[in-house]
């Protein structure tokens, strides 16, 4: 069985998530609160472990198919896109205290999505806007309203 870079990354992440998942179950539970401090980390780490295992399986299947077909293509490197993604993330961090969580998150998700897969039609633009607005809205509702985590307000917007 041969494995590529994605498979190796999946194995590393699977190992990390399983080790941390075991540790999350060992956190003490609070007698008054039904949901203990390890509940949400356990959920996130479970999804991370499942996604990592899926990445390993996909890489093994892909690599096996390429070996059988006699085709092993080298991955295309796009360092320009990596630099753009880091610049967008840096802009998000810089704009977060100025614009606030909701506006900065919409801009971040839209910019990153447009950089990774540029929209080609009006439908693509509408989908990009919907995903950006939906991501910010769901994040806001879950964290600010449900978990009662105070998200940054903008110094420029107060929003």
Q: What is the 3-state secondary structure (H, E, C) of 64-129?
A: HHHHHHCCCCCCCCCHHHHHHHHHHHHHHHHHHHHHEHHHHHHHHHHHHHHHHCCCCCHHHHHHHH
What residue spans define the domains of the chain?
Answer: 5-69, 79-146
How confident is the model over 45-104, as pLDDT tens digits?
A: 999 999 999 999 999 998 887 777 776 666 678 899 999 999 999 999 999 999 999 999
How confident is the model over 91-136, as pLDDT tens digits?
A: 999 999 999 999 999 999 999 999 999 999 999 999 999 999 999 9
- Rounded to two decimals, the pTM is 0.66
């Amino acid at each position: 069985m041969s494995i590529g870079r994605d498979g190796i990354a999946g194995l590393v992440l699977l190992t990390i998530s399983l080790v941390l998942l075991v540790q999350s179950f060992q956190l003490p539970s609070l007698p008054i609160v039904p949901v203990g401090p390890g509940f949400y980390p356990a959920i996130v780490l479970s999804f991370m472990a499942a996604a990592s295992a899926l990445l390993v399986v996909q890489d093994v299947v892909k690599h096996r198919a390429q070996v059988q077909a006699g085709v092993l293509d080298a991955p295309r490197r796009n360092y320009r896109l990596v630099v753009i993604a880091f610049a967008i993330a840096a802009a998000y961090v810089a704009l977060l205290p100025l614009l606030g969580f909701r506006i900065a998150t919409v801009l971040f998700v839209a910019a990153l999505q447009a950089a990774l897969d540029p929209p080609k039609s009006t439908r693509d633009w509408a989908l990009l806007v919907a995903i950006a607005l939906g991501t910010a809205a769901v994040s806001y509702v879950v964290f600010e309203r449900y978990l009662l985590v105070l998200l940054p307000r903008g110094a420029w917007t107060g929003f």
